[in-house]
Structure 1
Amino acid sequence: MKKMMIISIVMFLLIGTACSQDTSAQTPSQIDKENNKRIEYAQGDFEYEVIPETFTLKITKDGTTETIAEPQAKRKVSNLQKSATKTSWDFPDDKLHVTIEKQKKSLAVSIHSTDPKTSHLEWPRVNAPTYTLPISEGKQIPQNDVAWKKYFTSDNEQTMNEYFSMKFFTLNKKNFAVSYVMPDTFNNDILFHTDPAIQFSIKHTFSSVNKEKNYNYQIFVTDNNPVAIAKNYQNYIKDHHQFTTLAEKEKQNPEIKKLYGAPHAYLWNSRVLTADDMHWNTLKSAINDPLFEWIGDLLDKYGDDGAKEYRTVITNIKNGELYAYEKNMILNSLQYTLQMKQLYNPDIFKNPDATAAKYIDKGIKNLNEQELYDLNKHLVANQITDLTTPINEWGQSNSKDIIASMQQAGIKNAWIGLPNWVNGLMNPAFVDATKKAGYLVGPYDSYQSIQQNASIDWNTASFPDPTLYEDATVENEQGKKLTGFLGKGRKLNPTLVFNAVKTRVDGILAGGIGFNSWFMDVDAAGELHDDFAKAHPTTQKEDAAARMKRLDFLTKKGLVVGSEGGNDYAASDIAFAHGLETPVIKWDDPDMRENEDSPYFIGKYASMDGSIPTRYSKIVPIKDEYKPIYTSLVYSLPLFKLVYNRSVISTHHWEWDSYKIKGQTGERRLKEYLYNTPPLFHLDEANWKLHGADIAANMKNWTPFQKEALQHEMSNFQTLDQDRLVQKTEFGSRLQVIANFSNKDFQADKLKIPAHTAVILQNGKKTLISTDTLDK
């Protein structure tokens, strides 16, 4: 370990010196040549030994023999055949056929089931001093680590599709690394064992709905470092034509360029009519307008919660009470009814303006969604003219004005996400202004869940076709329907809803809204299902393919597409991903999710006052026991970036934006530069005032840095101290980031890196990223 550290520091000194002397920029052809240079990391000079009865597998290299698959209980073996490079046999009782073959650079393992029923195989079980695993961005886990042992004791089973961002796992043996690489991770679960030390096994399900009952690995031997491990995997996916660069994606959609150097921000303009747009002093007299009684009738008939609370507020206002509670109820009720097809009533709206009259003449049922909202806005605005500002000013203080402020602050590129497409359709002027600013803007969308009855409150789970609830939802092998998000509704089978996707997306875009991006929930997050419904049996592979089909549909619309997670079965189909760098932290901890009095409670999904829900804006600490698992640099590795830096732009999950974790904003910023991770945050008028100056100042460094970093492979990663708190990444040969996460300055040759600081070295230029004030 000390020897490796000394070598790392020497390499750092040599490269740092070279960088300081060479100030010339590379040409595009030189960059391409450097990126496309292939280095072979797989070492084929090994021998293997297998014991069929216990399915033990060993590898011998340079005189050292390591067990890479631990022995299991003995099974009956038949049809055993051996040659110089190949061994095959049957497990007749399990209806399995196994073939192991030594190839030039790897060991191929193929297991085939002949059982038509669902069956399982737990293999391999592995044991190593350290594991290199693509958990989210990447982790290096010592098998005796106390924090990880505690975590895996309770979270001892994981679905590989969701838990691993890439299709491999690596055993760090004493003298070399062994990587198990899979063609896919479908139907695999990881079972962790912690007594006496961390081991794990892979349980594969040969599902009855899957006629291709094969379970395969390519096993590679490489040097024992994360760069060799990741780059060997990159060679594998390139060999299998599964690697698409951003530059190649950009040829299909030039708008992708707008992601380069961009921060990612969710903008919460959830009310088109805001408190700033209301003349509250006129409400007491306006409240007698029949519109307000009609709103109550609509809420009674169509609202999920009825109108009881609303009617109480109306009475309060008539009695002279007008506090924050009453104002919020009025605004929320208006927002709700502005989305209703049933709002137009000729007995209420007797004198519609010219715009509304045009829509009425067209026929309410013939309006697209954007036209409906425009009609409803004009109906209400014309009915209560003295109560609000002019309609063209509605909602702009919390949307269009923020975009203008970002421009004035010098932010040239940005991705702006809306929590729902309604936010854009109700405020097209904001969308147009955002697009005109040169930014990407698009809605959050989801096809994970469906509810039986359509609801304005959960429109992503609402579909006009009522047959989907029964005919397009997923069943388990016992015939039970899988429940949707938060246990509500049901899970949709993506192979059966492509027409619903087209109908929704085409409907949203029908009015000419200026969306140039789209965020698709879950599709790249690995939540895939076998569907055992007799009418539509579906494999996880088919599930994934259907999700990629709809992502491709969005791309062909000219939209820059992103998704949750970023697991690499989707890497060729998305430009960006949210959730790899900081995933959802401990979903099932009641202190974080349920106990509102807990200091760790992360907040609620809904906001009564139209601001950012506290789920996304509240700054909270995380428990010490979770820091090693989710945020500690000691265990983190940029595995995904070493493979996909030029292919997918990945950042935090929206629950855990760059400011969310108390006491870690500075540390996470350094890591954003070290790993080339765009900052992600949530914005409304208040949050822009709070964080805008810091965001703008950071962008002066971030934007040019990432534009350069995305041109190159992440070519190297090193830790420069024994505590793993000084780390270095390289992008190509002339861009480096050294981040010092420790509490003391780090000295290497003539370069001093202050504590809590990152240094960017680019063609001899040095830029310091200081975070001293971020957590104070």
Structure 2
Amino acid sequence: MNLSSFYCSCVALSLTLFSLTPYAAPLTLTHQDTHVTINPSDLSMRWGNLPINDANLKVGQQPQQVVDIRHPAPNQFNWRWEPANIEVSATLDDALTLSMSLDENARVTRQHPVTLRWFDLPVEDTQTLLLPFSEGMRVPTDHSQWIDYLQASRDGANTTQDLKMPFWTAQIGRQYVSYHLVTATNNRLSFARKHDKLAMGAVHTFTPLNRHDPFVVRVKLGQHPLDGAKWYRHWRQEQHQATSLAQKVKQNPETAKLIGATHVYLFGRGPLARDDVKDWWGLKDWALNASSLAFDDETKAALGELSSEQGWFSQYHKNTLVNGINRALEETFPVTAPTEKDNTIKKQYQAAQQRKKWLAARAGQYLKPAEQWGQGLSTEMIDSLQKAGIRQLWLGLDNWMPAFYQPHVVEKAKQAGYLIGPYDSYNTAIPRGVNDSWLTAQLPDAMRTSCAIEQRDGNLKKGFRGNGFYLNPACDADYVAQRVSDIIKYGQFNSLFIDVDATAMAREDYRRDTREVDMLAAFNQRMKSIVNRQAVVLGSEDGNSLTTQGIAFAHGLETIGFGWRDEDMKSNRSSPYYLGPWFPDNKPAFFFQSAKVKPLYQALLFDPQYRIPLYQVVFHDEVINSHHWHSDSLKFTNVRAERDLIAMLYNVPAMVHLSRDEATSPSQPRIRAIKHYQQGFMPIHQALWDKALVDFRWLDERGRVQQTQFSDGSTLTANFTDQLVGMSDITVPGKGLVAQLSDGTQVVWSVSE
């Protein structure tokens, strides 16, 4: 061998030995004028001089060694972590893309998944976090209350259901660094306090079901707080995941009825309402002595003590009598439990008609005409809404039975130009006798057991509030499709609200080897199949970005659930923060009783300086979102102005709950509130429903005056103070909003009527 050949052989050997030796020096990726430095042993990263990830790489609890480094291009490095046997690729173009995959030698079992801690927020350098929990939270990282709140309520949050879109943005210096989880499943976030600042971490988990799926994350710099949301919106469009509202209107013209509509839930499911009774004493005597209806002992005792000699019939006794008759009618004309061959929807419709006919024939002299009956759905309610001049509404029923009792009222609502649909769900199945009034969960026993999700520990996943089981959405799809079809057929609905499907409630199901990403796909497929087979406008809960296929509207993101474990809110009836009990059925206090928001939640969740329209940047012209039905626009008295103005600023609809007694005339407070919302929201939304939200800014230092801008140049300016705010071209009233639309129209709206 000559000297030259010997030298080349030695160099090759040394490079081979070097690549198999643990490595700790930083690697620099270059793309045009951009340089990103990564330390592969701890995954600390800098974009130029800007820190974008702190050093804290762990697989399980174990640090890793770096071997087999490759540098196929100036903008790419590949390597492997050992002993975890994870292959890593880092590529820089317009964004930094990291891809991490288990190789075939990696060991992962049901009881021992592989957890990869890959992200730690650069705590000392980060000023603000923008998090899509709900519409969007703006969190100063040195704010002690925010640190405590996130640590107590969001530590361990997942990035499918909890994080409403799989990205977050950190303000680091003058830059906004956005982290997009292309692999949105099997991730958890952590929040903690570190040196009196907010620390945030992220962990990805490889399981036996997803072990062959790479974990991919992208990082990009921006100059504006909304840049991360705009980047994600563009990515969704590139991936063909976005379907605009304009396209949905073209596919189903009924969708246009959502434009400018306030969203209203109607409560009360029985055939008879208190307002349907003409003769209380005659009805009471007939019911107890001549009706053959079977009343429970409590009802008989309460009504038996009454005598016409007293001369008055209390509200309590009126409710007792009406509710007792409604329950007894259900027992007189029962419906059998559903089976896989018979979902009993037709039988429920027939039973509703029988109950109504039987009662009218035997007790009609004590009641108004049967066509006027109804608790949450009645001719009187639709008449009052129309007389008030309310033209655009989505009407939601808490189940389909009111429509089965009064099908002519559904037709009347549709003729008025309204969308109307029931709440439905296929997420939880419960056994007969647990809560038979929860109709959506009344699914066949065979389906409840065979479709139940099997967890990693082998147990079946308990259903909502611990009842029954949660179901795999891919299971028994034909049964679901037929029941949905029958509900729409017998209810004659033009809309449907299917609970949970759009919450991105992803889980692994070891019974069927279902990955989290497979479950998301099954939810999307179910929603798409409904709109493809049925001529209904579909909505669902939350509208999380991973599960929006098929839906035109969603409820949940503008006011999220909070304080679930707060005893004052849950059970302390003497507290001003008590939300109320879940009864009576025709008007549950939980939905109608006013309450105050505790100072902590008021300060963090409803102060406009901590809100940012991340979701609307992505979805304004795709999915119409509103509040969660637990918290309609009128629920909280001490944050109503802030909630209303934020909704108007983001151009999203109000939500108002109605019961029969709240809708007997156009002058009643809740109908006046709907009309007031319509006067501001409808003309603005009719101009902007198909436009993108492209800019958001503060017009003062504290965020008390804020402005949004849309893709046609229209601007909405909200004033959260009590004083008039004058600007060069407009004056915004206290607690008010001014819309300057691109066609020159100006709309002025104030919170107070």
Same fold (TM over 0.5): yes
Give the distance between the partners of 1:410 and 1:572, measured in 2 at CA: 33
**Contact conserved, 1:524 with 1:566, CA < 8 A, in 2?**
yes
Residue of 90, 93, 102 corresponding to 2:92:
102
Answering whether residue 139 of structure 2 is matched by residue 141 of structure 1, we say yes
Deviation at 1:537, TM superposition (A): 2.7
1:315 to 1:646, Cα distance in 2 relative to 1, 3 A: same
Answering whether residue 101 of structure 2 is matched by residue 122 of structure 1, we say no
**Contact conserved, 1:435 with 1:514, CA < 8 A, in 2?**
no
Residue of 519, 524, 532 corresponding to 2:497:
519
Answering whether residue 634 of structure 2 is matched by residue 631 of structure 1, we say no
Deviation at 1:622, TM superposition (A): 0.8
**Contact conserved, 2:396 with 2:422, CA < 8 A, in 1?**
yes
**Contact conserved, 2:161 with 2:503, CA < 8 A, in 1?**
yes
Give the distance between the partners of 2:405 and 2:430, measured in 1 at CA: 24
**Contact conserved, 1:341 with 1:364, CA < 8 A, in 2?**
no
Deviation at 1:260, TM superposition (A): 0.0
**Contact conserved, 1:246 with 1:648, CA < 8 A, in 2?**
yes
Give the distance between the partners of 2:305 and 2:375, measured in 1 at CA: 29
Answering whether residue 157 of structure 2 is matched by residue 158 of structure 1, we say yes
Please list the CA deviations of residues 732-772 of structure 1 after superposition, one character each: whole Å capped at 9, or x if unmatched. 2342111111243333224332332211112333332122x
Structure 1 stretches of 4+ with a deviation exceeding 6 A read 318-321, 363-366
Please list the CA deviations of residues 269-325 of structure 1 after superposition, one character each: whole Å capped at 9, or x if unmatched. 333211222221213541355534x424xxxxxxxxxx3323424543589785433
Answering whether residue 583 of structure 2 is matched by residue 598 of structure 1, we say no
1:368 to 1:174, Cα distance in 2 relative to 1, 3 A: same
Pairs within 5 Å for 1:240-259: 240-259=239-258
Find the counterpart in structure 1 of residue 6 from structure 2.
Answer: none
User: Helix, strand or coil for the counterpart of 2:87?
Assistant: strand
User: Helix, strand or coil for the counterpart of 1:585?
Assistant: coil
Find the counterpart in structure 1 of residue 301 from structure 2.
Answer: 312
Find the counterpart in structure 2 of residue 711 from structure 1.
Answer: 690
Please list the CA deviations of residues 2-59 of structure 1 after superposition, one character each: whole Å capped at 9, or x if unmatched. xxxxxxxxxxxxxxxxxxxxxxxxxxxxxxxxxxxxxxxxx97421111111122221
Give the distance between the partners of 1:753 and 1:364, measured in 2 at CA: 55
Find the counterpart in structure 2 of residue 15 from structure 1.
Answer: none
Deviation at 1:396, TM superposition (A): 7.4
Answering whether residue 525 of structure 2 is matched by residue 541 of structure 1, we say no
Answering whether residue 71 of structure 2 is matched by residue 82 of structure 1, we say yes
Deviation at 1:546, TM superposition (A): 1.6
Give the distance between the partners of 1:625 and 1:566, measured in 2 at CA: 27
1:417 to 1:366, Cα distance in 2 relative to 1, 3 A: closer
Answering whether residue 431 of structure 2 is matched by residue 452 of structure 1, we say yes
Deviation at 1:507, TM superposition (A): 2.8
**Contact conserved, 2:127 with 2:141, CA < 8 A, in 1?**
yes
The residue type equivalent to 2:53 in the other structure is I
Give the distance between the partners of 2:390 and 2:236, measured in 1 at CA: 36
Give the distance between the partners of 2:721 and 2:306, measured in 1 at CA: 57
State which drifts further: 675-684 or 48-57: 48-57
User: Helix, strand or coil for the counterpart of 1:389?
Assistant: coil
Find the counterpart in structure 1 of residue 468 from structure 2.
Answer: 489
Find the counterpart in structure 1 of residue 597 from structure 2.
Answer: 622
Q: Considering only aligned residues, what root-mean-square deviation do their CA atoms show, in Å?
A: 2.4
1:87 to 1:374, Cα distance in 2 relative to 1, 3 A: same
Residue of 722, 725, 729 corresponding to 1:746:
725
1:70 to 1:748, Cα distance in 2 relative to 1, 3 A: farther
1:711 to 1:342, Cα distance in 2 relative to 1, 3 A: closer
Give the distance between the partners of 1:396 and 1:589, measured in 2 at CA: 32
The residue type equivalent to 2:220 in the other structure is F
**Contact conserved, 2:399 with 2:424, CA < 8 A, in 1?**
yes
Answering whether residue 207 of structure 2 is matched by residue 207 of structure 1, we say yes
Answering whether residue 653 of structure 2 is matched by residue 678 of structure 1, we say yes
Please list the CA deviations of residues 324-345 of structure 1 after superposition, one character each: whole Å capped at 9, or x if unmatched. 333323322322344458459x
Deviation at 1:142, TM superposition (A): 1.4
Structure 1: stretches of 5+ with no match in the other structure = 1-42, 297-306, 345-362
Give the distance between the partners of 2:288 and 2:612, measured in 1 at CA: 63
Deviation at 1:636, TM superposition (A): 0.7
Answering whether residue 52 of structure 2 is matched by residue 72 of structure 1, we say no
Give the distance between the partners of 1:585 and 1:442, measured in 2 at CA: 27
Find the counterpart in structure 1 of residue 628 from structure 2.
Answer: 653
TM-score (norm. length: structure 1): 0.85
Find the counterpart in structure 1 of residue 485 from structure 2.
Answer: 506
Give the distance between the partners of 1:111 and 1:602, measured in 2 at CA: 46
The residue type equivalent to 2:209 in the other structure is V
Give the distance between the partners of 1:202 and 1:396, measured in 2 at CA: 49
User: Helix, strand or coil for the counterpart of 1:566?
Assistant: coil
1:367 to 1:140, Cα distance in 2 relative to 1, 3 A: closer
**Contact conserved, 1:152 with 1:194, CA < 8 A, in 2?**
no
**Contact conserved, 2:621 with 2:690, CA < 8 A, in 1?**
yes
Give the distance between the partners of 2:39 and 2:703, measured in 1 at CA: 39
The residue type equivalent to 1:59 in the other structure is W
TM-score (norm. length: structure 2): 0.87
**Contact conserved, 1:338 with 1:373, CA < 8 A, in 2?**
no
**Contact conserved, 1:157 with 1:191, CA < 8 A, in 2?**
yes
1:489 to 1:109, Cα distance in 2 relative to 1, 3 A: same
Pairs within 5 Å for 1:464-483: 465-483=444-462
State which drifts further: 429-438 or 490-499: 490-499
Deviation at 1:88, TM superposition (A): 1.8
1:71 to 1:364, Cα distance in 2 relative to 1, 3 A: closer
Deviation at 1:563, TM superposition (A): 0.8
Give the distance between the partners of 1:631 and 1:686, measured in 2 at CA: 30
User: Helix, strand or coil for the counterpart of 1:179?
Assistant: strand
The residue type equivalent to 1:501 in the other structure is V
State which drifts further: 136-145 or 310-319: 310-319
The residue type equivalent to 1:120 in the other structure is T
1:587 to 1:329, Cα distance in 2 relative to 1, 3 A: same
Deviation at 1:184, TM superposition (A): 4.1
Deviation at 1:398, TM superposition (A): 5.8
Find the counterpart in structure 2 of residue 563 from structure 1.
Answer: 540
The residue type equivalent to 2:495 in the other structure is S
1:44 to 1:405, Cα distance in 2 relative to 1, 3 A: farther
Pairs within 5 Å for 1:388-399: 388-395=367-374, 399=378
**Contact conserved, 1:148 with 1:628, CA < 8 A, in 2?**
no
Residue of 723, 742, 745 corresponding to 1:765:
745
Pairs within 5 Å for 1:728-747: 728-747=707-726
Please list the CA deviations of residues 465-506 of structure 1 after superposition, one character each: whole Å capped at 9, or x if unmatched. 211222111122111222211222221121113233123223
The residue type equivalent to 1:663 in the other structure is N
1:537 to 1:71, Cα distance in 2 relative to 1, 3 A: closer
Give the distance between the partners of 1:673 and 1:640, measured in 2 at CA: 15
Give the distance between the partners of 1:752 and 1:276, measured in 2 at CA: 46
**Contact conserved, 1:130 with 1:172, CA < 8 A, in 2?**
yes
Give the distance between the partners of 1:516 and 1:277, measured in 2 at CA: 27
**Contact conserved, 1:269 with 1:399, CA < 8 A, in 2?**
no
Give the distance between the partners of 1:67 and 1:758, measured in 2 at CA: 38
Give the distance between the partners of 1:123 and 1:701, measured in 2 at CA: 47
Please list the CA deviations of residues 392-432 of structure 1 after superposition, one character each: whole Å capped at 9, or x if unmatched. 22227963222222212221111000111112212212211
